[in-house]
Structure 1
Amino acid sequence: MGRMNSTGIVLGTMDFGTRVAPDQAFAVLDAFVAGGGTWLDTANCYSFWNDPAGVGGASERVIGAWLRARPGARDTVRIATKVRQNPLVPHSWPASAEGLSARAIRDGLEESLRRLGTDRVDLLWAHAEDRSVPLAETVGAFGELAAKGTALRVGAANHPAWRVERARALAREQDVEPWSALQLRHSLVQPRPLTPVAEAGHRMLTPDDLDLARTEGLAVWSYSSLMWGAYARADRPLPATYDHPGTSRVLAVLDDVAAELSATRNQVVLAWLARQGIDPIVGASRTAHVEEALAADRLRLADAHLARIAEAR
């Protein structure tokens, strides 16, 4: 797949400042950079559901504190954040979730920059759709921020391919920076067809998304790719929607390939995504998680491995 600016492993920081204490988050960030990692993924809403205050911002504040404590780090890492889902009223989501109006986008990024302590983000995502706002207005606002240099690139998370392509056409009409990256949920195992996942707002990667990315040269990032530890930990079983014969076939092949390559299940999943041109976001709460994930960048799956996995799926 021809794409723009492949990133490799992206560090997911969703739990920083809530479930992951700042000192532990600092250790994870240090290990990620020491291991050659570059991209950090956060959002202005992370993680309001785990924060007693009932609003987001904790993750960005921790990253900002780490940047202040590590002179020169801002020139080493690239930061991606998102606007759209942060509650404007504490403990009131989705009723008060910010939308994608021009004002909401501008205000959202301004607050993110303040928390991060930086003058720009390297990638700004629209975290989810907002069909109450004309798409042209949303596209124009993202384009304005790109023109100002406060968002060096812009992308769409949890949007269907047709909406992304429509937004890109509108960007061409307005002569502004188009969305050039997609972020969607994807992993080796898949839920039962036509069965919705339990996690509100998650949108699964589809063949249409990959076709759009291949045709237009878009970056593709995936989230929840390691299924919250389910590949590695017996105490974290896969959700019920993944309970079908296909999952058993895939896991059996995954174990075989991992044994042949002297790798972990997680590393094979990450390497499989990389072979498709997909950059996985890996959430980490310990340095060992970071080291395992970064080692997957050096793992090479043969075409025969890919064929066996494809047949099982």
Structure 2
Amino acid sequence: MLRHYHDYQSGFKNWNQRSHAKNWLLYPQNLGSHLSIDETSLSHGELYTILTNKAAKGGKGSIVAVVAGTKAEKVIEVLRKIPESQRKKVKEITLDMAGNMELIAKRCFPKATRVTDRFHVQKLAAEALQEMRVKHRWDALDAENEAIEHAKSTSTDYQPELLSNGDTIKQLLARSRYVLYKKQKDWTENQKQRAILLFERYADLKKAYELTMSLSHIFEHTNDKLYGLARLAKWHEKVRQSGFKAFNTVARSIQNHYETILNYFDNRSTNASAESFNAKIKAFRSQFRGVRNIEFFLYRLTQLYA
């Protein structure tokens, strides 16, 4: 039944893009003034670069191009099949901080304003905070192993320190993962208690958490590009004063992309539409119970979204 649908009913055999579907798909008619570009995995970690039209809002007409891989040169070659006069009509394109995406957007859409997605910037800070938490957790595990070995060598019982909420130190650090992702106003009572214990013992995590939340606050409560620049500069100075290596890396990344990051404050555009579309692809893939035939999967996908 499925084979009959695949071979005869679906129209797959007569698909005009079938000959090159594994390498690239192009729908110039879906090109709009505001685009998103991102990468996604279809099967077994194989990455594809997908360009989408924001005006379609994740529905029919969303897909502009799908290109196998993430090499800038290859994606540029495919997108340049669209006439330059059409590509010059693109006003804005949102993207992440990857250098290849920046190059693709710059070369293919020269008139478009490039906007680095604020959520990718915030994610870097969140990951820097989690990196510090994980380091403390490994240190706690080492300390616990040493204490256990010492207890064995002295023929004594090892009793881990229990905190007021019932956590051991290593449990506190492990269970604080989601606490550090959330804003303080969204903490549950248990998370509030855990945060107090965590920040009392690890002042650096408290400072790093404040840096992460203050960066989010800048993007959420700033509507002017000049104010945005000033506030990011102040944030950068706080990072420098903190001496946190992981956050210095984040600050340097922001500096290297500050022009396209600041463009966010013009229209508050993000790459959320691309992330949402990636989620739709994953949901579609789960309905297929994986991707056995990439060409047919892409055909079905484009029938829905191109």
- 1 or 2, which has the higher helix percentage? 2
For normalisation by structure 2, the TM-score amounts to: 0.30
Structure with more relative contact order (C-alpha pairs < 8 Å, separation 6 or more):
2
For normalisation by structure 1, the TM-score amounts to: 0.29
